[in-house]
Amino acid sequence: MQDHLTVVEHPLVQHKLTLMRKDTTSTAVFRQLLKEISMLLAYEITRELETCQTAIRTPLTQTTAPALAGKKLALISILRAGNGLLDGVLELIPSARVGFIGLYRDEQTLEPVEYYFKVPTELQDRLVIVLDPMLATGNSIVAAVSRIKQAGAVRIRALCLLAAPEGVKRMKSAHPDVPIVTASLDEQLNDIGYILPGLGDAGDRMFGTK
Ligand code: URA
């Protein structure tokens, strides 16, 4: 993947995102749309997975055909909103390994603090996709990617439903080697770090907490 930022302009993605943004969209519909859109984003982010030719038999003949090569990829969800992307991505890539990272913001230092970390083994040999629906300030994803690199990952991509220019800039300076795939580059952050026009609090909207 060559570009640092890929915005998936496909009409189905854009239509589903518009429905998700609307404040009248129910939790159940929001969750269903998130699942569908995450499958489409996963399709894009895995476009360059390596394949190798394998020998198979069809009902008619022997042939060789491509299959995915290398170790199973790893999906790492940043809790809790990353879990909303997990269902759809796993539906498309059911054999992926899954990890979780939990971070909270220390109110004094404003720095992200890790409270949970459990990831698949042999990260160095896997394509690692970090799941975080809202790339806002970028503080948590930058910290999560640093931690995942510390655990051995070398080939990492970020899958985000929405991105703010501020977060993209921060990721580009902290982790220029991590391409981002998103459905939209929105306009800006508001003064409390929410993405505009955005869709509100992604966690609250997908889990119905508010
Ligand atoms: N997290 C969210 O859930 N929404 C935003 O707009 C920004 C961060």
pLDDT in tens, 26-69: 999 999 999 999 999 999 999 999 999 999 999 999 999 999 99
What is the CA 49 to chain-centroid distance, rounded?
A: 16
Question: CB 35: neighbour CB atoms within 10 A?
Answer: 19
Q: What is the pLDDT of residue 107?
A: 78
- Cβ 43 under 6 angstroms from ligand 1: no
pLDDT exceeds 80 at position 2: no
pLDDT band of residue 210 (cuts 50, 70, 90) is confident
| Structure confidence by residue, pLDDT tens digits, 100-147 | 999 988 877 778 899 999 999 999 999 999 999 999 999 999 999 999
Is 125 a known active-site residue? no
Does residue 195's CB lie within 6 angstroms of at least one atom of ligand 1? yes
CB neighbours of 56 closer than 8 A, spacing ≥ 6? 62, 63, 64, 65
User: The whole model's pTM is what?
Assistant: 0.95
Note the pLDDT tens digit of each residue in 158-183. Answer: 999 999 999 999 999 999 999 999 99
User: Is the pLDDT reported for residue 17 higher than 80?
Assistant: yes
Most ligand 1 atoms within 8 A of CB, residue of 139, 186, 187, 201 to mutate = 201
Taking CA atoms only, the protein residue closest to ligand 1 atom 7 is 194
What domains sit in the chain, N to C, each tagged with a CATH number?
5-47+76-199 (3.40.50.2020)
Phi then psi for residue 31, to 5 deg, are -65, -40
Which atom from ligand 1 is nearest to the alpha carbon of 195? 6
96 lines ligand 1 (CB under 6 A): no
- Residue 46 is predicted with a pLDDT of 97
Whether 88 lines ligand 1, by a CB cut-off of 6 Å, is no
Give the per-residue pLDDT at 118.
98
